[in-house]
Amino acid sequence: MVPFGVRATDRSPLSSPGFAPLDHATRAAGRRARRGRIRCSEYRNSERWTTGSMSAMAFDTLKFAKRLKEAGFTEQQAEALADAEADLIEQNFATKRDVADIKRDIADVKRDIVDVKREIKELEVTLRNEIKQLDVKIEQIRSDVARDLKDLEYRMTIKLGTMMVVAVGAMAALGRVL
């Protein structure tokens, strides 16, 4: 159980990133603070808001609950409201770590965009070179087809001429015979 005044720091790192679990002494200090055996400032100076590398947003639920009690709330109502407020703060406010993570993600995306733009330019250059090579091949094929057509035309002319000579010779021979 989390001592009253401590914000969910004994959750696992997976469920609450950035919070380190409390040690036994800090939990005991929280219990003693609630019972009035030590001053709240001693408890406030304990490790209850300590995280792995940076501090999370601190919300003193004990102080908030005391204010509510002074305003006429029962202890149970004050604790419930303090926990609800702490949950609200925990869920809706970004910590410095969250902002740093987002900035890191933005920087990564910007690097990725630069890399993609560079790759696109490289692909564009490669594509242009390939298109030029294809244009050269197409032009070579056109010239080959034109040359083949001229060669075919030349052979057809020779064959047609040969057939005409044979036909004229056959008619002349047929004309002598008849």
With a cut of 70, say whether residue 24 has pLDDT above it.
no
Angle at 44 between CA 35 and CA 77, to 5 degrees: 55
Give the integer Cα–Cα distance in Å for 35 and 75: 13
Average pLDDT over every residue of 19-23: 44
With a cut of 70, say whether residue 52 has pLDDT above it.
no
Residue with tokens 């914000």: 7
Position 28 scores a pLDDT of 54
Residue with tokens 């040690």: 23
At 127-172, the pLDDT tens digits run: 999 999 999 999 999 999 999 999 999 999 999 999 999 999 999 9
Give the integer Cα–Cα distance in Å for 8 and 86: 9
Average pLDDT over every residue of 29-35: 51
Position 13 scores a pLDDT of 36
pLDDT band per the 50, 70, 90 thresholds, residue 19: very low
Alpha helices in 12-95 (DSSP H): 24-35, 40-44, 61-70, 75-92
Average pLDDT over every residue of 38-64: 52
> Are the C-beta atoms of residues 49 and 19 closer than 8 Å to each other?
no
Average pLDDT over every residue of 98-125: 95
Position 55 scores a pLDDT of 41
Average pLDDT over every residue of 8-29: 44
Specify the higher pLDDT residue, 10 or 161: 161
Residue 69 burial by CB count (10 A; 0-12/13-18/19+): exposed, middle or buried? Answer: middle
> Are the C-beta atoms of residues 49 and 62 closer than 8 Å to each other?
no
